[in-house]
Structure 1
Amino acid sequence: MRAEMQAVRDEAHAYIIRMLEQATLARQRMFGASSEQMSAQSRLFDEAEVLAQTSTDAHDTAPIAAEETQDASGAADATKAASKPARGKRAPLAAGLPRMDVVHDVPESDRTCPCGSPMVLIGQDISEQLDIVPMQVRVIRNIRNRYGCPGSQHAPVTAPLPAQPLPKSNASADFLAMLYTVKFVDGMPLTRFGRVLERHNAPVPSQTLARWVIGGGKLLQPLHNLMRDILLDCSLIHMDETVVQVLKESAKAPTSNSYMWVQSGGPPDKPVVLFDYDPSRSATVPTRVLEGFKGYLMTDGYAGYGDIGCTAGIERLACWAHVRRRFVEAVRVQPKGKRGKADEAVALIGRLYRIEREFKDAKPEVRHAARQDQSVATLAEIHAWMTKTVPLVTPKSALGTALAYMKNLWPMLSRYTERADLPIDNNRCENSIRPFVVGRKAWLFSDTSAGAHASAVIYSLVETAKANGVEPYAWLRRVLRELPAAQTVEEVEALLPWNLRLPEISPIPLP
């Protein structure tokens, strides 16, 4: 009886500790200091003041004065600013931006020298200002000439209209490129963009904009398919998932969660980011979207990746960043000023990351040797520490759950040392998800599953363009102008981001 009472007391004590830890973590998430300088809420109204106090850039402080002096022969020399020096070095404005010269001349009455001789031009002082032209909304009138038989004996001939991205709409390719950019790159909801158009005397209902997004998703699907082929051909894929709310999903409540499944990978010169929408978070989804893949798969510890991890030809890797976060949470619930077991775990994991930073730019063979020599030894030390610590910790405490998480994933956590090119964590995929998460805070939900599918396609395209160093709007303009007329796979492939570099996607003049 006494043993039973003690067991009840121990269980109650563990439960109380667990509740206190959860309350502490919840309070820190809501009110604790962020790793950034200020929280987003506190920056809402004083962003300009904060940035002005912390900035080392001189864009806002340096006077409009001579940045270079040019003599009459065209040679330029750097000169000092006319007033007090700026607090930081001003970065030059991009050379690729168009320039418009505004010449400021000395009045003719002031160009007579005190000696009586007329002055001659000996040079110029040149400074540059960043300027912007507001968005211009215009109407393109497609005029198709029609020719007929003078005797009306034969049918007339009319000039054909070039292939259009959305034939039954009155949206041009460039308009759609802007629409997709402001929503999927800049995170602007369609209703807000509709208000922008209304201010420019070109109102378009939000429902119409939504239909154009869905239509664009269908049009751009072939590019999405080709990018998947590239992704599945490589030997390493990162994968993660995040929630998205879809109001009109069949057999689901409007408040329930659906999911965007994100994959990133591809060859070094052809990085790919793919989004796939699915109402489910089941294990069948990664198995379906990665059908045919053979290689290493980096994920977090979610059990839904278990089935594909058991597939022949797939070796699953686990993310050390997720493990570290759990131990960091365990550190946060420790008594203030005390160093505990969780601190030891964070320090040991930090050693793994120091090795990765030190050999990040080393040759593959050097990095692999460092992993075998240093990382494997550190992993053995972490495993020994884990084996020793697990029996001493309450299983359901913050430290206990962190230890259990690491123990369950251990074979996948230590596998990255097998090759030089395998990642230690899944940060690459999480960074790819971040723009979607930021945009979701603004537009909140998708109305239909068709809209969610279209969002997945367009997010895939713009994020892949960004990963390849291609400006999304300029690339989308080119794609939306040429894709409707593409007849072969080769013509579609030619529009992929790695096949169109910046000189090729510079603004195309209207005919």
Structure 2
Amino acid sequence: MNDVFTLQQRIADLEKQLPQANERNQYLLEQFRLAQQKQFGKSAEGFVGQGELFNEAEDITETIEPEQQAISYTRNKPKRKPLPKDLPREHVIHDIDDKSCACCGGELHKIGEDTTEKLEFIPAQVKVIEHIRPKYACRECEKSGTESKIKQQPMPAMPINKGIATASLLSQIITSKYQYGLPLHRQESMFKQYGIELSQQTMSDWVIKSATLFTPLIKRLKAELLKQPLLNADETTVNVVKSDKINSYMWVYCSGADSPKPDNPIPNIVLYDYHNSRAASCVMNYLDDYQGYLHVDGYQAYEKTQATLVGCWAHARRKFIEAKKLQGKNKTGKADVVLSLIQKLYGIESRLKGKPADELYHTRQTQSKPILSKLKEWLEKHQPNLVGNSKLIDAANYMANQWPKLTIYINDGRLSIDNNRAERAIKPFVIGRKNWLFSQTAVWAGPSAALYSIIETAKANDLVPYDYITACLNELCQPTPDIDSLLPWNFKG
């Protein structure tokens, strides 16, 4: 009897554990499907009906039949964009030798000409600038035995006083690494092609010293940034090898837009800030007592600031897209309803692109607000009863928790529907990180933040980073540099 009772008790215990086991099995199955999707599926976040915005030419070509390609080419012949007028030009004249008429022998006269432009690439040139400083002494003093004071023009200020690098060389190294993601050891190999031995260690030292020179300009840009009525912020991991922390973080703060806009009074600034932590104190210390609008994702650290937080619909949409992937192919469900409504919100924003802030405010109040009400109704109806799809539950919970922040954008036409401005700003760092993989020490991470800040701010103001960095280095090494002249919106080149 005891054995029967024990067996029954065991069966009862297993039945109690069965729901948890099923739930765990469902969770693991969902993770497996998502892993498959990330590995083999498309990574775009667009919802069906949004259109494929970023297809490569190869993808487009592969989907068109040869006959269609031929028809498309004849109907819509592409127009080549003219080459810039300010590029230097070399004229090569192909003239005929015999200028007599083949019929009557008379002299031919010129009736016109055809000009065809071809683009020539000239590899980078390296030259040595010799600074020659004559020395002068007094002959009369020499005759009388008096020690003559030698007079000589001092060396002009240089970014690296006792090094061979000029501002242009430093700018080339910096932009190669931070704008184009070319690690220093590859640059070392490139310089060897010109017969120049520049070790990785030497260039590393130059980069760190150059970043230090930018300190006063970075401080000024930060002061300008914190004056703005609205900002964007984001953060991403950075692997610092010789650090006690598993993950360090690069934070980014932006104002303005990705490129200059005549009607936008907010300056375009992008600043990076390195920390070996993701703690709230990082953003609190950087923003100090900033009380304007701050576009962010759902990370709790931003809650500790004094800013008015503006939520990100791109993050909310992303979570529902993950939930939709678990529905399976050609299946529709609750996630599709939400994604369709979010798509309508983005459709309104697309039509309003470039419109003044007051028009954005009025249109959002009349068109976006009713859609937000439908999303709120969906949440109230379905969130308490969701089961099964854990990603759908997570997405609904995220949207519910972020709801006040997600809806605040309709109350001010200057605000954005998402935090994509900051996500785009952090992307160059993420791409660069894939190339050079890590920073060896925090000593490197700090200069990287400074130099990324200068390059991305220059790009946001339609400046050529190489030219801008060269000019900045030449000015910042002076005894009293003119910081005002180096602000991107004041920069004359």
Instruction: State the TM-score, normalized to the length of structure 2.
Output: 0.86
Q: 2:126 aligns with which of 137, 144, 157?
A: 137
Q: Matched residues in 1 for 2:358 and 2:57: separation? A: 49
Aligned residue for 2:250, secondary structure, equals strand
Report the equivalent of 2:48.
none
1:112 aligns with 2:100: yes
One-letter identity of the residue aligned with 1:493: D
Cα contact 1:245–1:444 (8 A) shared by 2: yes
Deviation at 1:92, TM superposition (A): 0.9
Report the equivalent of 1:293.
290
One-letter identity of the residue aligned with 2:42: A
1:21 aligns with 2:12: no
Q: Matched residues in 1 for 2:44 and 2:401: separation? A: 29
Superimposed CA distance per residue, residues 414-468 of structure 1 (whole angstroms, 9 cap, x where no aligned partner): 1111101111100001111111111111111112212111110010001000000
Superimposed CA distance per residue, residues 79-131 of structure 1 (whole angstroms, 9 cap, x where no aligned partner): xxxxx999522111122222122222222xx1122333333333321110111
Deviation at 1:5, TM superposition (A): 7.0
Cα contact 1:14–1:397 (8 A) shared by 2: no
Cα contact 2:323–2:389 (8 A) shared by 1: no
Q: Matched residues in 2 for 1:235 and 1:328: separation? A: 32
One-letter identity of the residue aligned with 1:328: I
One-letter identity of the residue aligned with 1:170: I
Aligned residue for 1:246, secondary structure, equals coil
1:492 aligns with 2:472: no
One-letter identity of the residue aligned with 2:85: A
Report the equivalent of 1:11.
20
Q: 2:204 aligns with which of 204, 207, 210?
A: 210
Aligned residue for 2:237, secondary structure, equals strand
Cα contact 2:233–2:254 (8 A) shared by 1: yes
Residue pairs, 1:6-405, within 5 angstroms = 8-35=17-44, 50=58, 87-107=77-97, 110-114=98-102, 115-150=104-139, 151-152=141-142, 153-249=147-243, 251-252=244-245, 256-266=246-256, 268=265, 270-308=267-305, 311=306, 314-394=307-387, 397-405=390-398
Q: 1:338 to 1:445 in 2, by over 3 A?
A: same
Q: 1:487 to 1:31 in 2, by over 3 A?
A: same
Q: Matched residues in 2 for 1:437 and 1:268: separation? A: 29
Q: 1:51 to 1:178 in 2, by over 3 A?
A: farther
Aligned residue for 1:233, secondary structure, equals coil
Deviation at 1:260, TM superposition (A): 0.5
Superimposed CA distance per residue, residues 368-419 of structure 1 (whole angstroms, 9 cap, x where no aligned partner): 1111122222111111101111122138701001111111111111111110
Q: 1:456 aligns with which of 430, 449, 454?
A: 449
Q: 1:300 to 1:97 in 2, by over 3 A?
A: same
Aligned residue for 1:445, secondary structure, equals coil
The answer to which structure, 1 or 2, has the higher relative contact order (CA under 8 A, 6+ apart) is 2
Q: Matched residues in 1 for 2:229 and 2:286: separation? A: 15
Q: 1:54 to 1:222 in 2, by over 3 A?
A: farther
Aligned residue for 1:238, secondary structure, equals strand
Report the equivalent of 2:52.
none
Report the equivalent of 1:81.
none
Deviation at 1:273, TM superposition (A): 0.3
Q: Matched residues in 2 for 1:336 and 1:104: separation? A: 62
Cα contact 1:14–1:394 (8 A) shared by 2: no
Q: Matched residues in 2 for 1:53 and 1:403: separation? A: 39
Aligned residue for 1:113, secondary structure, equals coil
C-alpha root-mean-square deviation of aligned residues, in Å? 2.5
One-letter identity of the residue aligned with 1:102: V
Q: 1:54 to 1:21 in 2, by over 3 A?
A: closer
Aligned residue for 1:485, secondary structure, equals coil
Aligned residue for 1:270, secondary structure, equals coil
Q: 1:52 to 1:168 in 2, by over 3 A?
A: farther
Q: Which ranges of 4 or more aligned residues in structure 1 deviate by more than 6 Å?
A: 1-6
Provide the identity percentage. Answer: 39
Q: Matched residues in 2 for 1:354 and 1:3: separation? A: 55
Cα contact 1:246–1:449 (8 A) shared by 2: yes
Aligned residue for 2:440, secondary structure, equals strand
Q: Matched residues in 1 for 2:329 and 2:62: separation? A: 31
Question: Structure 2: any 5+ residue segments left out of the alignment?
Answer: 1-8, 46-55, 65-73, 257-263
Q: Matched residues in 2 for 1:275 and 1:101: separation? A: 46
Aligned residue for 2:156, secondary structure, equals coil
Q: 1:328 to 1:320 in 2, by over 3 A?
A: same
Q: Matched residues in 1 for 2:401 and 2:155: separation? A: 61
Q: 1:93 to 1:23 in 2, by over 3 A?
A: same
